[in-house]
Every structure is written in structure tokens, then in C-alpha cells.
Amino acid sequence: MKSHTKYLWFHTEQKRAYINITREVEQAVTESGIREGLVLVAAMHITAGVYVNDAEEGLLQDIDDWLEKLAPTGPNYRHHRTGETNGDAHLKNLLIGHEVILPVTEGRLDLGPWQQVYYAEFDGQRRKRVVIKVIGE
Amino acid sequence: MKSHTKYLWFHTEQKRAYINITREVEQAVTESGIREGLVLVAAMHITAGVYVNDAEEGLLQDIDDWLEKLAPTGPNYRHHRTGETNGDAHLKNLLIGHEVILPVTEGRLDLGPWQQVYYAEFDGQRRKRVVIKVIGE
Amino acid sequence: MKSHTKYLWFHTEQKRAYINITREVEQAVTESGIREGLVLVAAMHITAGVYVNDAEEGLLQDIDDWLEKLAPTGPNYRHHRTGETNGDAHLKNLLIGHEVILPVTEGRLDLGPWQQVYYAEFDGQRRKRVVIKVIGE
């Protein structure tokens, strides 16, 4: 079994941002030399997520509106008694998920025609990290 | 390390449908000859999902109602400016998740007593695909 | 390839409970002797979940309130025609997810600074199980 591990760093200008990282994941797969296996892509923070969906600008806005509707920014989280102000970002992380796992087939990231891998930042303007780990043979 | 990859095709009659694919996943595990490992089951589309829950007709309706409540069908998605009408299906995909990863133990799919694997179609009436990949030894 | 499988049992006093199982997962990784790989942590029930987030008491309450808001307890689930009363617990499971998969790097669970692994019970007061499976080398 072979493995390959790589970390991506982010420091977004906005509090919330959606960044297409499909090429970085594909590059990690190529670097690994793995032909058949799995690749894990995971946010290493509890206020960010990773998901797979479409690279369409309107949809990115729809996703942001929807996350804000179901897990709204606001002052009334118990978590804020600690001095934090990012209660909503924790819930957005739970809604979207912090990781995806994707197939590697014949040496390539085996995604469907419109599937793109996104890093979703919910509490940005600071350094955050994603881990990519490919395992297989 | 061994691996086994298989694709399932779907073409549902309805726009939304929930299809129990547990047997297909079990069969892929058997075919792989793998005794200890993991199996990934992933929708290859951004308007469909894969989840694990109960095979109970009432609950399937409850799940559909709930998804429609939290990620409703409607005309007001920015994504629709592209000509698409399936904004809700993208959000339902994000809510339910596009993939699950399940343990293979002693040559069998290691699920709890009521756990069943479902393909969830949110924008059907066309050909869609699921990838199953078993890795292990 | 090596693998190591372990089951955790729970029997909560309350109907809903959030239990930090990070140490148990770290222990399973150490026992496995695996240096590079993946670890799956999965609820084996359809009314419980596993997620990664912060070990902060206020936030745990926020998460419980939020799950109850988006997937409320109530009498009006079709699933209840079977005699069950836990329709909400099935939806909470779908919202939070039943499993996470985490990286193992240099023999350790490779989590970010605040990431903790939680077992989320949504229909407790009975024996429930989580499977941990580490694979790698």
C-alpha cells in the first residue's frame, strides 16, 4: 500500500468563501502515483467544510444563502459566552460536512462530469488548513 | 492491497426517488474477495446522494418531506439563470451527502441491524451513476 | 496493508447525548500500529451519528437546539405508524451524518487543533454501537 499526504493553506479575505480545490486534489493524486485507491480531503478546522458540487457562480451564492438560512449568523449562541462570535460557523460546518472521500481509478480522480471539490470557509480572515491523503496502490 | 470498482446506473421514472442499493453493495464486497477494508459508495452527480438509514416506507416519505422543507423546490435560485431548474436538487445533495464509506469485516459489509444503503435521486428521469469502490485485503 | 477493528458500546441515560470519543479513536489508532492510513468511525444505528467539532459545553447545547429546530421531535411522522416514536432521530442522523473518516499520519490521528470526534445519540436509553476501523500501513 502506498500513501501520500499534503496540506493546503488558506487565508481568505472574506469571512465566508467557497474555493474550488479540484486541481489541487487531482495534483495530489498524480503525485501519489496511486492507480487504485481513495483520497480523503478534510478541513482541519471546526468552522470550515469540504464538499462536492457544481462550479457555477449563481449556485455558490444559492449555497451561501441556504447555509445562512439554516445556520444563521447571530448573537444568540451559547458558544458566544466563551468570547467567540462564530457559533453559526460551527453549525454550517456540521451541515455541509468537514470531509469528503473520493475514488481514485486508473490513476485519476474518479469524479462525475460536473463534480468539483470545494473548500468552504465559514470563519475566515485567518490561516486555515486542509489535509489531503491518498491511499492505495 | 486489493481493490474492486463497480458502477451502478439509474434512470428513475420520477424526479425524486429513494432506491435501496444494499444488495448491490454487498455483492460488490463479495466480488472483491476483500476480507478487511472499506467500501466507498458515491453518487457521481451533484443532484443525487447516497445515505444510510432504514428501509421503511413511511420513513422514506418523511425523509422526502423533510428534504423538501429544508431545501425546497422553487423558482428563486440564482442557479436558474443558467437555464437550469434544479437548484433545490443541489441543496438536497449537500444536505444528505453524496457519499458514504462503510466497513468490510470478515468478508462482509459490516452494517448495524437496520442500516440500509440508499441512492437518493433528486433530479431524475435521466441516466445517473453511482461508483462503488472496495479497498482492503 | 494492516487493519484493526474495534466496537464501542453506549447506553445513555438521556434520549439525546453527545459523547466525546476522541481518546477511544486515538487508542484504536495506537493499537493498530498503523503509521499512514485512514480511520473510519461510524454509528451502527440509524438514530445516532458521528461528527467532528469542538468540545465546548455551550456549543454542544447549541448543536442540540439546532438539530431539534431543523429535525424536530413530534408526533407527525409517517414512520410512527409502525409504532415507533423516533422519526426525528432518523432525520437528525441524516443531518449530522452517521460516519466520519479521519487521516492517520506518522502513527497519529491527524486532527486540527480543536477537532474532536463525537458520538451523537438521538434515541438512547438502549444499547448502541460504534465501529472503528483503521486501515493502512
Instruction: Read off the pLDDT of residues B71-117 as tens digits, 9 standing for 90 and up.
Output: 999 989 999 999 999 999 999 999 999 999 999 999 999 999 999 99
Cα first-last separation, chain C:
5
Residue B8 to chain C, least CA–CA distance (Å): 23
pTM beyond 0.90: the answer is: yes
How much is the mean pLDDT over chain B? 98
Using the beta-carbon criterion (under 8 Å), do A103 and B42 form an inter-chain contact? yes
What are B78-90's pLDDT values in tens digits? 999 999 999 999 9
Using the beta-carbon criterion (under 8 Å), do C90 and B59 form an inter-chain contact? yes
Tell me which chain B residue has its CA closest to the CA of residue C80: B58
Q: How large is the average pLDDT for residues C51-61?
A: 98
Chain A residue numbers touching C101 (CB-CB < 8 A): 40, 99, 101
Contact between residue C123 and residue C86 where contact means Cβ atoms under 8 Å apart: yes
* Residue B89: other Cβ atoms inside 10 A: 26
Using the beta-carbon criterion (under 8 Å), do C137 and A42 form an inter-chain contact? no
Nearest of A27, A31, A7, A10 to residue A19 by alpha carbon: A10
Question: So what CATH class is B2-136?
Answer: mainly beta
Q: Which of A36, A38, A53 sits opposite B94 (nearest CB)?
A: A53
What are C87-121's pLDDT values in tens digits? 999 999 999 999 999 999 999 999 999 999 999 99
Which of B98, B121, B122, B137 to probe by mutation at the A interface, max A CB count within 10 Å? B98
CA atoms lying within 13 Å on the CB side of residue B12: 16
Counting beta carbons within 10 angstroms of the beta carbon of residue C25, is it exposed (0 to 12), middle (13 to 18) or buried (19 or more)? buried
Nearest of C5, C34, C6 to residue C136 by alpha carbon: C34
pLDDT given for residue B13 in this prediction: 97
Size of interface A-B (CB pairs under 8 A): 94
Query: Cα-flanking dihedrals φ and ψ of residue A126, to 5°?
Result: -155, 165
Which residues, given as ranges, of chain A have pLDDT below 70? Answer: none
pLDDT given for residue B14 in this prediction: 97
The C-alpha cell that represents C122 in the structure block: 438521538
pLDDT given for residue B89 in this prediction: 98
pLDDT given for residue A94 in this prediction: 98
Q: Which of B54, B96, B103 sits opposite C40 (nearest CB)?
A: B103
Confirm whether the ipTM is greater than 0.95. Answer: yes
The domain spans of chain C are 2-136
Q: Where are the beta strands (DSSP E) in chain A?
A: 2-10, 17-20, 37-43, 48-53, 99-105, 108-109, 116-121, 128-136
pLDDT given for residue C27 in this prediction: 98
Using the beta-carbon criterion (under 8 Å), do A94 and C53 form an inter-chain contact? yes
Q: Which of C63, C114, C137 sits opposite A1 (nearest CB)?
A: C137
Cα–Cα distance for residue pair C58/B111, rounded to 1 Å: 33
Nearest of C20, C42, C54, C19 to residue C98 by alpha carbon: C42
Cα–Cα distance for residue pair B94/B78, rounded to 1 Å: 17
Cα–Cα distance for residue pair A1/C93, rounded to 1 Å: 33
Greatest distance between any 2 Cα atoms in chain C: 51
